Amino acid sequence: MSTRHEREPDAIVRESNRHAIDPERDAIDPELDRLIAATRAVAAGADFTTRVMTAVENEGTPMFDRPTRHALTLAMLVAVVALFMAERSARAYDDTLVSTYDESAAELAW
Amino acid sequence: MENLEEAVEKVLNGDSAAFGQIVEATSPRLVRMSARMLGSVQDAEDVVQDSYVKAYRSLQNGQFDRRAKVETWLYRIVVNTTLDAKRSKARSKTTASDQLEQAGGWESVAAADARVALREMSAWLDRLPEEQRTVLWLKTIEGLESAEVAAILGCSEGAVEQRLVRARAALREKRSDGR
C-alpha cells in the first residue's frame, strides 16, 4: 500500500521544512491554514483554456510568424543595401559619362 | 517545468496552439492564486485571461528574454495584473462579478463554501499594506520559495524575508488588538 510520503515526497519535505524553519508560523496560522484548505479546491471554469485561446486569437495574431518576420527583415535590409549600391553605381556611371563628354567637348574645341 | 520551455519555443516558431498547452498547465494554479487575492473566481479568471493575452503578445514581440523560467515570468505578469485589479476594485468597491456571485451564480454548496472562504482570505490579506500582503500571499499561502518570490517581485531574498517578518508582526498585533 502506498503511503502519502511515497506519493508526494517533495511536497511533504517542502511542507515540513517550511514549518520547521518558520518558528513564528504557529502564532498566526491556524486561521490562515483553514482558509488555505478551504480555498484549495478553487478552480477556473472547465472552458477556461478555450476562453483564453479565443481571447488570444481575437487579440490579433501577427500576419507572419517569427521566422518569417526575421526573413522579411533580412530581405528588406538586403533590398536597402542593393538600392544603395545601385544608386552609387548609377552616380559613378553618370560621372563617367559627364567626364567623357567633357573630354570630348574639349577635344572638339581644339 | 521542461514542457513549458518547449511549448514557448513552439509558440516562438509560429505554433500558436502550443500556447494552449501553457495555459492548460499553468492556469489552475494561477487562477487559484489570483482568486485568493481578489476574493472572487470570476475576477481571477478575467485577470488571468488578461495576463495570458499580455504574455502571448510579449512572446510575439520577442519581449520574453528567457532570463527567468516561463512559470516565474507568468507568475510575475499575473501578480502585477492582480495587484492592478485589486487597486481598481478597491476604488470601484463592487464589481459586476460580485453582483453575479451574490446572485447565486455558483452551482454547489461546496463552491459556495469556497466562495465564502475566498472572501475571508481576501479580507484577511487586506489587513496588511500591499508590499507585505504580496509577500505573505506568495510565500505563505502559495508556498513559493523566497528566491521565487524575489524573482517575481524583482527584489532581493533579504527584502522578501524582511517583509514577511513585518507582515507576521503586523498580523500578530492586529490579532491581539482584536481580542
List of chain B residues whose C-beta atoms are within 8 Å of the C-beta of residue A19: none
Q: Do A24 and B62 touch (CB under 8 A)?
A: no
- Per residue in B95-133, pLDDT tens? 555 555 544 444 566 677 888 888 888 888 888 898 998
Q: Do B45 and A44 touch (CB under 8 A)?
A: yes
List of chain B residues whose C-beta atoms are within 8 Å of the C-beta of residue A65: 13-14
Distance (Å) from the C-alpha of residue B33 to the closest C-alpha of chain A? 9
What per-residue confidence (pLDDT) applies to B170?
86
DSSP state of B139: I
Threshold 0.90, pTM exceeds: no
- ipTM for this model: 0.78
List of chain A residues whose C-beta atoms are within 8 Å of the C-beta of residue B175: 28
Low-confidence ranges of chain B (pLDDT < 50): 1, 102-106
Q: Is the distance from CB of B5 to CB of B70 less than 8 angstroms?
A: yes
Q: How far is CA A109 from CA A99, A103, A106, B131, in A?
A: 15, 10, 5, 90
List of chain B residues whose C-beta atoms are within 8 Å of the C-beta of residue A56: 16, 19, 52-53, 56
pLDDT in tens, chain A (110 residues): 444 444 444 544 455 445 444 545 545 668 888 888 888 888 888 899 999 999 988 876 565 666 777 888 899 999 999 999 999 999 888 888 887 777 777 777 76
HSE, CB side, 13 Å, CA atoms: give it for residue A72. Answer: 7
Residue B133, classified by CB atoms within 10 Å of its CB into exposed (0-12), middle (13-18) or buried (19+), is: buried
Q: Do B27 and A39 touch (CB under 8 A)?
A: no
Q: Do B171 and A28 touch (CB under 8 A)?
A: yes
CA distance A85 to A78: 10
Chain A interface includes B84 (CB < 8 A): no
Instruction: Name residue, grid cell 517533495.
Output: A10
Q: Do B45 and A48 touch (CB under 8 A)?
A: yes
Q: Is the distance from CB of B90 to CB of A92 less than 8 angstroms?
A: no
What per-residue confidence (pLDDT) applies to A53?
93
CA angle B56/B62/B64 to nearest 5° reads 70
What per-residue confidence (pLDDT) applies to A103?
78
Q: Do A48 and B110 touch (CB under 8 A)?
A: no
Grid coordinates in use for A95? 560621372
Q: Do B23 and A42 touch (CB under 8 A)?
A: no
CA distance B66 to B64: 6
Distance (Å) from the C-alpha of residue A83 to the closest C-alpha of chain B? 28
